[in-house]
Amino acid sequence: MGLWKTLTTINGNSLGGLIIKLIYNVPKMSDRTIIDIVTGRKWAPEFIKMLAAKEGALRSLKM
């Protein structure tokens, strides 16, 4: 199990987490989508919500 975990982990991110990050692609999201994710109108995993909040802060979005 340890070898499998090592092979499926890249820089501390599991393979599933990387796939989810690629699906959501937070830096290329529209402002409206980021606001919807952060406010909870649109469901997303918790770490995607954190990434969206950071991106919203970078873009100076009002939420």
Going from N- to C-terminal start, the domains of the chain cover: 25-63
Measured in degrees and rounded to the nearest 5, phi and psi for residue 43 equal -75, 140
Contact criterion met (CB below 8 Å) for 54 and 63:
no
pLDDT higher for 42 or 10? 42
- Tell me, what's the pLDDT at 12? 56
- CB neighbour list of residue 10: distance below 8 Å, 6 or more residues apart: 18
Return the amino acid letter for 40: G
Determine the pLDDT at residue 32.
94
Q: Stretch 5-33: mean pLDDT, rounded?
A: 74
How confident is the model over 31-63, as pLDDT tens digits?
A: 999 999 999 999 988 888 999 999 999 989 876
∠ CA(39), CA(17), CA(62), 5° rounding? 20
Residue with tokens 């090592």: 6
